[in-house]
């Protein structure tokens, strides 16, 4: 049985038999993500001391200005996963297209693809606010031994075999699921190991925190506007507390521990939503459901959405189950 003070490596080995596939490849993949997280954490923590703050001068596929740490984190995760010969493909929020990986020795024999947001919330870097990494893992659907195709990446979120995030904050934590609950590990910087600190993480069924960028209020659908007013004026234990960091990882992490709801709805400026389905919404939705929470676009379960493009955006409502259900009720009643 898993106990506190257990390292992430020990936890992965002990629970390997509960993975859907037990070849050991997924375990090595999770360990590689752990290694890359430690390297990125080192750079994040010394960002004010070296020339790694500010814009890199490039624009990514999303049309967003890349920060220097965006570029660095992207390179570290791609290099770590590529050199260790454990994945057959990688898709990153920072890359235009997916990357097909061929081992000279094994000829596309690896079975997993990784989708990653290397540095979520990077606009917060220069002001020393928590940022994070989000990852999502799927088993390929095209034949082993052939190059990966877009089909391997455009899978529904319900097909994920693992997902998680790393939050670089007052302490650095790696939180992940393989479909058997959610567990959190805190990095001990003195010895460089992640230790199980938050076993069996769960969302409170309800809460009193709502996380939304209220600067976009006039742009929100009527259902979301009505739900916000409900949080402020009508809900039990009202008024709810508004808490919005601007880093999905940080907002999600806080809400999972304390109970709350995160919302990034569509609007006239973002008619399809703002967050990316494959890199942000699906992994967080998988974590939320494994922790007893819920996620949808206001009508449809996030994990049931069929992706149509690598950088597809969708509306996103996620958090404590009763709070999400209440928001969905307002969306059904008042709509757009």
Residue 229 counted as an annotated binding residue: no
| 163 within 8 A of 135, measured Cβ to Cβ | yes
Q: How far apart are CA 148 and CA 144, in angstroms?
A: 9
- ∠ CA 59-60-66, nearest 5°, is 60
Residue 244 counted as an annotated binding residue: yes
- Spatial neighbors of 200 by CB under 8 A, at least 6 apart, are 181, 182, 183
Residue 333 counted as an annotated binding residue: no
Question: Looking at the DSSP assignment, which residues form a beta bridge with residue 167?
Answer: 132, 173
φ/ψ of 326, rounded to 5, equals -70, -40
Q: Sort 318 into a burial class: Cβ within 10 Å, 0-12 / 13-18 / 19+.
A: buried
Residue 274 counted as an annotated binding residue: yes
Both tokens of 92, joined, read: 């990153």
Both tokens of 162, joined, read: 């693992």
Residue 93 counted as an annotated binding residue: yes
Cα-Cα-Cα-Cα dihedral sign, residues 112, 113, 118, 120: negative
Residue 280 counted as an annotated binding residue: yes
Residue 320 counted as an annotated binding residue: no
Radius of gyration for the chain, computed over Cα atoms and rounded to the nearest angstrom:
19
Residue 159 counted as an annotated binding residue: no
| 167 within 8 A of 130, measured Cβ to Cβ | yes
- Spatial neighbors of 152 by CB under 8 A, at least 6 apart, are 88, 89, 113, 138, 140, 141, 142
Residue whose entry in the numeric block shows the structure tokens 């999303």: 62
- Per-position b or e across 236-264, b if 16+ CB within 10 A of its CB: eeeebeebbbebbbbbbbbbbeebbbbbb
| 139 within 8 A of 153, measured Cβ to Cβ | no
- ∠ CA 316-319-321, nearest 5°, is 115
Residue 117 counted as an annotated binding residue: yes
Q: How far apart are CA 224 and CA 199, in angstroms?
A: 33
Annotated binding residues, as ranges?
Answer: 93, 117, 119-123, 213, 244, 274, 280
The annotated binding site for substrate is made up of: 120-123, 213, 244, 274
Please state the residue numbers annotated as binding site for Mg(2+): 93, 117, 119-120, 280
């Amino acid at each position: 049985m898993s106990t506190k003070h257990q390292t992430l490596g020990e936890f992965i080995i002990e629970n390997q038999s509960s993975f859907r596939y037990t070849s050991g490849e997924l375990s090595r993949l999770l360990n590689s993500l752990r290694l890359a997280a430690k390297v990125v954490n080192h750079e994040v923590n010394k960002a004010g001391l070296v020339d790694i703050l500010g814009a890199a001068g490039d624009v990514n596929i999303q049309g967003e200005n890349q920060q220097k740490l965006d570029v660095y984190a992207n390179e570290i995760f791609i290099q770590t996963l590529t050199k260790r010969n454990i994945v057959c493909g990688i898709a990153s929020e920072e890359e235009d297209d997916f990357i097909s990986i061929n081992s000279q020795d094994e000829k596309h024999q690896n079975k997993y693809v990784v989708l990653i947001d290397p540095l979520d919330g990077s606009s917060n870097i220069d002001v020393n606010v928590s940022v994070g990494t989000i990852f999502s893992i799927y088993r390929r659907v095209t034949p082993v031994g052939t190059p990966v195709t877009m089909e391997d990446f455009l899978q529904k979120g319900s097909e994920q075999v693992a997902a998680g995030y790393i939050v670089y904050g007052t302490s650095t934590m790696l939180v992940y699921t393989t479909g058997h609950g959610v567990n959190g590990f805190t990095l001990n910087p003195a010895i460089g190991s992640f230790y199980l600190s938050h076993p069996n993480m769960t969302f409170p069924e309800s809460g009193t925190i709502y996380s939304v960028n209220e600067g976009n209020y006039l742009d929100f659908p009527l259902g979301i506007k009505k739900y916000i007013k409900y949080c402020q004026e009508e809900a039990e234990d009202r008024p709810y507390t508004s808490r919005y960091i601007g880093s999905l990882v940080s907002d999600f992490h806080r809400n999972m521990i304390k109970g709350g709801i995160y919302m990034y709805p569509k609007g006239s400026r973002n008619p399809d939503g703002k967050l990316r389905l494959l890199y942000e919404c699906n992994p967080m939705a998988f974590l939320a459901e494994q922790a007893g929470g819920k996620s949808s676009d206001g009508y449809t379960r996030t994990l049931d959405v069929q992706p149509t493009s690598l950088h597809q955006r969708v509306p996103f409502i996620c958090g404590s189950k009763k709070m999400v259900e209440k928001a969905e009720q307002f969306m059904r009643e008042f709509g757009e």
